[in-house]
Structure 1
């Protein structure tokens, strides 16, 4: 029986035809995504669901999707898909990460030009029969300094276009290496320095805990007077209330926003302010981009449903159907190892080395490497996946190398990940036990044996008596239950580490209390996406 796919949002006829040409039984109802109840009643019939942003693949919908195997999002953002719920049910979530990069970058440049020359207000005035030539005095872009926050795929395209406009470009990006900065022609700055130097600032980063309100009221106070702000990335990167006040005071000369903290945006603080250009999330809204992502998602979903091949998956590695049975646990391990060092590393990464020992050295190392890199980068870019991760690493000048070797120890195989920055080198190793579960076996060269949990606590200290008691009593005082406790040390009375598997998230008060004991050099909470 042919696989059945439901398209519940507006995709092009060419994309629909790809499904049909591949032998897929496709149902095309482009308005269904807005009818939640009808969608709930139908979803159990389908193997695949192709969507844009209107359809919300919620936990409730996924529970009803008894036959669903894949959700394909035509576009990069998957905020409208409950990925943990899909993963738990074995449903693959795919996106199309690069289909709208040029379109989004061009929209940012367009908004920058519009706010520089007050084009929307001048247009409205002229349509009204006025001729207010002296009222709309603009500024040139040539010779001005553009500050780019986030120099990844879209940011680098903006940089290229801005340099073509003869602008001076500076960038802030923790992942941007000096070599890559030179290659793309930008001066790398710390955030505060960029805020004080830029005439225009544009954002091209995902919304994470690290980037939320990156342009806060405090940061806005550091801006160069007369600056103009452009945001085509994500709502929530800018404190809209604080920015509105800065525009009213004249400290900020203008702003252009395509995204907002709450969408659909019907009452933003930025609305109806002078020289503020606003658009309804049009970053990807061009004929070319919409067509590209629609065709991509149709091809990807068809490949998976017909042959088991996985491409651009958010929650599963890109591996062949034959490899998946053997490699699954090792893919999970490589993701956890990368996630560990990624969460531990705050400074720009210069290089990543992955050592494959024993039986794992004969597997699909490209998939394992990509899974590791994606794990490392997930802290700052939750949209990263196995396909986009190597590209992002290359774009940021991160050197990735792999090493293979025959079995060299007691384990039949293991993976060791080493990350190098300008300040330090970090390493973590792990293996897969006979029960198929990943384990951490070495951290900073210290041997351990730790199960991977969703919530973990990592500490370092001098090897002295009483550390276990301090950890146990302090966490107990804050209602934290320890599921598993692993210790390791370099030498007696030398450096020691502890890795604790915790039932729930560790409250900030408990972290402060541990720091307050004066017994720990480092206390760090870690989270892992455990299947």
Structure 2
């Protein structure tokens, strides 16, 4: 009988789920705060269920001689050393969807409180001022809500807002027109949303593409009197720019549950009367805490009893027998996905994955998951190999897989085609020799390139002198080229250059490369290899 330690306080119903699934469970809700005691006893257990109090460090894991799985009741896993767990062969799971309704409801609550100035009116009334004329609010009915991010939580917010008779417009690079119709929202570009929305609410991960998405420049494009709600991530809003806009009256009010630095204690926004602040309460309801506890108990039990992996953060489901054969192909699939994902800027409607030759006879499910993870991570950030297929489905992305015998020169080949509103883009790769992944085809153009941490991708006109100009510019910029890979459709037509370089390009360097004569597109690519 597998044995699980629950080291933080969770719902008693979760304990009963373990027992009903034939799992022996020790409920010691205070031991997570005692590092020495936890390190002393962890070796007895196959599974560990935690919340935020337990810190699973490399020292704890070093003593976890029997541990197979860690389950976090909630989404954040900052308290788990995932690389150390992976090295130890321990699956790390979370419950990313248990808080969705609660967080969406908090955003709606913040919007309504902002519209009617409820917190400030409450404080005034308690102070016996009775300032009825001071707190003139606005209705949300028939107003336009601008949704930045239309994933799991954003789609729930859209549904609730429509119930309030609001018009909902949404900006999300991964939102397809078909999915927008299903949600009943109008898909728009960011500038259009900023110009039209009466209320703006954010529901996107914090990645490079979304950091300070609400900047001084973005605020200047908004309606006068706009109201902004953020229950997603601190760092999506430039807080200094927001403060200036609030003081100037450009922004009528803001409601914030998250901040750039947390715990937030001396934030300059706190001194403004037209700002509502809560201490990261998005997931703080009885129901949400119950949901994540029950989910983590189900997930840990399933893994220990059947090997099923749900919401794993560090590896797809692969058996010990399959691992030696699958691992290099899983890595290739993720790199191909990352390549395509970093080049994709518009909504993805479809993904086609072709397995040719020997690889088609293997278990392709982990490869599909790894590939989708690679495609989605550059825009969504908070994705793993298990959650990626569900996220693709939620966003209306049609995923097609094709298995066939060898048809070309390679014993094994994986080809990925990404279909967007504007175009289809394909990339193919293989594994051979030292089992290092190789890209062998881009947009139907044959070339061969090893994937390295820092790369530069260029599409250009195939005309004499281009390679010389590019090499000269790279030398002037002090960028060392490790490998230079070329391919073209035919003489005088489009060509591709894929360069391995020794350091990541800066924005300024990339701008200069984009301005080089003959360049149609230039992209910096970053890979974990």
Normalised by the length of structure 1, the TM-score is 0.89
Deviation for aligned residue 1:175: 1.2
User: 2:146 touches 2:193 (CA, 8 Å); kept in 1?
Assistant: yes
User: 1:317 touches 1:331 (CA, 8 Å); kept in 2?
Assistant: no
User: 1:474 touches 1:510 (CA, 8 Å); kept in 2?
Assistant: no
Match of residue 234 from structure 1 = 233
> Which runs of 5 or more residues in structure 2 are unaligned?
none
1:249 paired to 2:230: no
Provide closer, same or farther for how the CA distance between residues 90 and 522 of structure 1 changes in structure 2, counting only shifts above 3 A: farther
Structure 1: distance between partners of 2:476 and 2:49: 49
Deviation for aligned residue 1:180: 1.7
1:279 paired to 2:307: no
Match of residue 356 from structure 2 = 357
CA offsets 1:461-511 (integer angstroms, 9 cap, x no match) = 345667666666655665655555433333355443333344443444554
Provide closer, same or farther for how the CA distance between residues 233 and 58 of structure 1 changes in structure 2, counting only shifts above 3 A: farther
1:524 paired to 2:523: yes
Structure 2: distance between partners of 1:194 and 1:57: 42
User: 1:76 touches 1:383 (CA, 8 Å); kept in 2?
Assistant: no
Structure 2: distance between partners of 1:469 and 1:24: 66
The answer to which of 431-440 and 290-299 deviates more is 431-440
Q: Secondary structure at the match of 2:337?
A: helix
Q: How many residues of Structure 1 are paired with residues of Structure 2 in the alignment? A: 529
Q: Secondary structure at the match of 2:378?
A: coil
1:297 paired to 2:302: no
CA offsets 1:203-256 (integer angstroms, 9 cap, x no match) = 110001000110011111222122211111111111122212222222222111
Match of residue 77 from structure 1 = 76
Deviation for aligned residue 1:181: 1.5
Deviation for aligned residue 1:352: 1.4
Deviation for aligned residue 1:195: 1.3
**Alignment RMSD (CA, Å):** 3.1
Structure 2: distance between partners of 1:385 and 1:515: 32
User: 1:456 touches 1:500 (CA, 8 Å); kept in 2?
Assistant: yes
Structure 2: distance between partners of 1:467 and 1:31: 66
Provide closer, same or farther for how the CA distance between residues 145 and 331 of structure 1 changes in structure 2, counting only shifts above 3 A: same
Structure 2: distance between partners of 1:283 and 1:192: 27
The answer to which of 177-186 and 362-371 deviates more is 362-371
The answer to which of 257-266 and 83-92 deviates more is 83-92
Match of residue 375 from structure 2 = 376
Deviation for aligned residue 1:134: 2.9
Structure 1: distance between partners of 2:213 and 2:328: 37
Match of residue 335 from structure 1 = 334
Provide closer, same or farther for how the CA distance between residues 482 and 41 of structure 1 changes in structure 2, counting only shifts above 3 A: farther
User: 2:470 touches 2:516 (CA, 8 Å); kept in 1?
Assistant: no
Match of residue 114 from structure 2 = 115
Structure 2: distance between partners of 1:472 and 1:236: 38
Provide closer, same or farther for how the CA distance between residues 362 and 84 of structure 1 changes in structure 2, counting only shifts above 3 A: same
Match of residue 149 from structure 1 = 148
Show the 5 A alignment for 1:153-164. 153-164=152-163
Structure 1: distance between partners of 2:85 and 2:238: 32
Match of residue 423 from structure 2 = 424
Structure 2: distance between partners of 1:154 and 1:357: 38
> Which runs of 5 or more residues in structure 1 are unaligned?
none
Match of residue 269 from structure 2 = 270
Normalised by the length of structure 2, the TM-score is 0.89
Match of residue 441 from structure 1 = 440
Deviation for aligned residue 1:139: 1.5
Provide closer, same or farther for how the CA distance between residues 159 and 89 of structure 1 changes in structure 2, counting only shifts above 3 A: same
User: 1:174 touches 1:348 (CA, 8 Å); kept in 2?
Assistant: yes
Deviation for aligned residue 1:111: 1.0
The answer to which of 298-307 and 438-447 deviates more is 298-307
Deviation for aligned residue 1:59: 6.6
